[in-house]
Amino acid sequence: MHKSDQRIVVAIGALVGITIALQGLRPTGNAVIDWVLLVASAVAVTWASATAPWWTLALLAAGATVIAPVGGATLVGVGALVLALAIGVLRRSQPLERALVAGASILVLAVARRVVILKKGGKVGECLTAGLGSEELTTMVMTGNLGARALPV
């Protein structure tokens, strides 16, 4: 990767990190530490993604699109998926495009309002509905075929 590409990839990661920090994500509860962690994590992921295989980026974008809320986030996810597939078709080293796919997928995941955790055997075990950027978190505990009940966390 060329030096100019390296700078742009870091800039994409920093921009994504700032954007997700502005979404109100608070993994530690301390605003300063959260900003540093989110920006550093976004830069690290986009940097690693700049040389990742195209199919891993396509899986990331597809997964983000599936859990994205309907609307703009879904369109961004579909765009990232199309770009990842185009990278696979062209079969060239495209670090900037790869970083864009990862950055867009991270943004879609940050906007997503639900995370599904799968149990063994592919059955839905728990469904966490989290308003990312809010302080509310509701855990939905699946009770087999009987439905779900909400437990405050």
Q: Which DSSP letter does residue 69 get?
A: P
Q: Which residue has the tokens 């062209």?
A: 90
Count of CB atoms within 10 A of residue 46's CB?
28
Question: What is the rounded (10 degree) CA torsion for 26, 28, 32, 38?
Answer: -60
Percent of the chain with pLDDT over 90: 29
Domain extents in the chain: 3-112, 113-153
Give the model confidence (pLDDT) of 76-127 as tens digits. 989 999 999 999 898 887 888 999 999 999 888 888 754 443 334 444 443 4
**Per-residue pLDDT band at 23 (split at 50, 70, 90):** confident
**Per-residue pLDDT band at 22 (split at 50, 70, 90):** confident
Q: Say if CB 113 and CB 61 are below 8 A apart.
A: no
Copy the structure tokens of residue 151: 């437990």
Question: Kind of pairing, strands 124-130 and 114-118?
Answer: antiparallel
Give the model confidence (pLDDT) of 4-15 as tens digits. 889 999 999 999
Question: What is the rounded (10 degree) CA torsion for 124, 70, 90, 56?
Answer: -30
CA atoms within 13 A on the CB side of 48: 7
Question: What is the rounded (10 degree) CA torsion for 126, 127, 128, 132?
Answer: 150
Question: What is the rounded (10 degree) CA torsion for 94, 86, 48, 109?
Answer: 140
- Strand, coil or helix: 143: coil
Residues 16, 51: Cα–Cα separation, whole Å:
18
